[in-house]
Amino acid sequence: MLPQKTDPRWSGLLAGSIPHQFKATAAGLCVSRHQRALKQNVNPAALNSAIDDVYDFFSRYESIMQEDISTLFK
């Protein structure tokens, strides 16, 4: 089960302070795209937008990302 969008682990994942080697390649690409964008534009609105997008991606593909989700959000 995914934590709420307000969980600080989402921002940690996108800031790069929670490193993770994704089993689901598409999830890794999604997260790294937002990490790169946030390095260029670090502000609360950009972070919230990135969290929304990554959360929606994880939620949509939760059934095939169980291993990554359980590792990231123990």
Question: Which amino acid is residue 19, in one-letter code?
Answer: P
Please give the single-letter amino acid code of residue 67: E
Q: Residue 13 falls within a domain, yes or no? A: no
Closest CA to 38 of 56, 16, 68, 18: 16
Per-residue pLDDT, 15: 93
| pTM summary value | 0.91
Q: How far is CA 51 from the centre of its chain?
A: 6
Would residue 7 count as lying in a domain?
Answer: no
Find out whether 58 and 65 touch, Cβ atoms under 8 Å: yes
Chain mean pLDDT for the chain: 95
> How many distinct structural domains can be found in the chain?
1
pLDDT of residue 29: 97
Which residue range is the domain that position 54 belongs to? 22-72
Identify the pLDDT of residue 74: 87
pLDDT tens for 39-63 read 998 899 999 999 999 999 999 999 9
Scanning the chain, the segments in alpha helix (DSSP H) are 8-15, 25-40, 44-60, 66-72
Q: Is residue 1 part of a domain?
A: no
